[in-house]
Amino acid sequence: MHAVGAEQVEEAVADCVAALGTVTDRDWTGVRAGRLDWDCRKTAAHIADDLIAYAGRLAGRSASGYLPFTISLDEDTDNAGVLRTIEATGALLAAAIRTTPRAVRAFHPYPFRHANREGFAAMGVAEVLLHTHDVAEGTGIAYEPPAELASFALTRIFPQVRPGPTPWRTLLWATGRGDLPGREPVTGWHWSNNPVLRSERLTLEGVTPATAADLSLAGDGGYEWVGGATAEGTREGAGIMVKQYEEGLFHPEWGMYVLVRRDDDRAVGAMGFHGVPDGDGRVEIGYDLVVGARGHGYATEALRTLSRWALEQDGVRTVAAVVDHGNVPSQQVVDRAGFTRVFEDVEQISYELRG
């Protein structure tokens, strides 16, 4: 399957080199890079350091921490040499993204201590765009990258940032580098890779705004689905998530999770919460399997895992599920997962699992 992100890393690096290549004849060492405490030289070198670090973690399948290496430029490296190093390390990250299997996750601290290849691509793009901006600001040149690159980063690692007037202005605001009308200045921030939970046979992968948008438009979301396509309920749920993102109400932990079989990396369905827990500590859950994956206990297994996780979170006391009267298989799923019937009318049955 196509490795999304490699081309975006290459485009971001090319844009960086083109912009900063116009000022390589200037002194970068004695000039502060935008709002950073670093000078322009150190900031540009940091871009290369991040790119090779991300490539190393992906290629090495680093699971528990940073790799014990960093880049050290020769003392006589000029500014053009720094840019050549950015080009080389960007190519290495793009290659690592293309050659890393979709399901692989490697260490990154924010916020769940891991990221997949698409997450590393988004982080690499963000580092290149933002620090190119910092150096450009320090050297007094105008810089604005393609809107698609800023959007690529926002919809993958800034899921809780409500879209603004333009992707680039929104990304600058989200990282404390600019202002947006009607929004308070950002003084502290970090990006957020998608959450992942594991059950006996499945990996529950949290959906990003980018994935939700693709699924809502009948795309595959970057997954190979049993039977070749998602279920209708998954597309509808993804559409709801897109609206939440547009309204600034997207919370990745309390959104949708795609259920992926670990033995063949194929998606069997989706499960997720209708929103964040309410004031009484109650959260509602829903799910949907593709037809070809039903009857194997996947829904029960995933429901137990996701419900247990929810009840372990601070303030959550009840996980609820509502099932149609005629949907007997779904009723059996919630029964096997330990839910109790609490109310029913002529159309639906309400279930609860309490902590």
Q: pLDDT at residue 2 above 80?
A: no
288-332 pLDDT tens trace:
999 999 999 999 999 999 999 999 999 999 999 999 999 999 999
Cα–Cα dist 298/306, whole Å: 12
- As given in the structure block, the two tokens for residue 181 are 């009308």
Average pLDDT over residues 104-112: 94
Are residue 53 and residue 106 in the same domain, yes or no?
yes
Assign residue 73 the CATH number of its domain: 1.20.120.450
- Percent of the chain topping pLDDT 90: 98
Q: pLDDT at residue 46 above 80?
A: yes
Is position 71 within any domain?
A: yes
Is position 186 within any domain?
A: no
pLDDT at 1: 60
pLDDT at 3: 79
pLDDT at 241: 97
List b or e across 230-256, with b for residues whose CB sees 16 or more CB atoms inside 10 angstroms.
Answer: bbeebbebbebbbebbeeeebebbbbb
Cα–Cα dist 147/42, whole Å: 26
Cβ atoms of residues 162 and 246 within 8 Å: yes
Average pLDDT over residues 10-24: 98
Domains in the chain, number: 2
207-263 pLDDT tens trace:
999 999 999 999 999 999 999 999 999 999 999 999 999 999 999 999 999 999 999
pTM of the model: 0.96
Average pLDDT over residues 115-139: 98
Task: Write out the residue range of the structural domain in which residue 155 sits.
Answer: 6-174
Closest CA to 7 of 130, 87, 98: 98
Query: Could you tell me the pLDDT band of residue 355, with boundaries at 50, 70 and 90?
Result: confident
Cα–Cα dist 223/226, whole Å: 10
6-15 pLDDT tens trace:
999 999 999 9
Are residue 48 and residue 125 in the same domain, yes or no?
yes
Are residue 204 and residue 129 in the same domain, yes or no?
no
Closest CA to 172 of 193, 192, 149: 149
Cα–Cα dist 289/300, whole Å: 11
Are residue 121 and residue 216 in the same domain, yes or no?
no
Are residue 170 and residue 238 in the same domain, yes or no?
no
Q: pLDDT at residue 198 above 80?
A: yes
Are residue 115 and residue 207 in the same domain, yes or no?
no
Are residue 37 and residue 167 in the same domain, yes or no?
yes
Average pLDDT over residues 154-170: 97
What value does the mean pLDDT of the chain take? 97
Cα–Cα dist 113/304, whole Å: 23
pLDDT at 131: 98
Cα–Cα dist 204/194, whole Å: 10
Helix (H) / strand (E) containing 134:
helix 117-139
Is position 191 within any domain?
A: no
Is position 181 within any domain?
A: no
Are residue 296 and residue 168 in the same domain, yes or no?
no
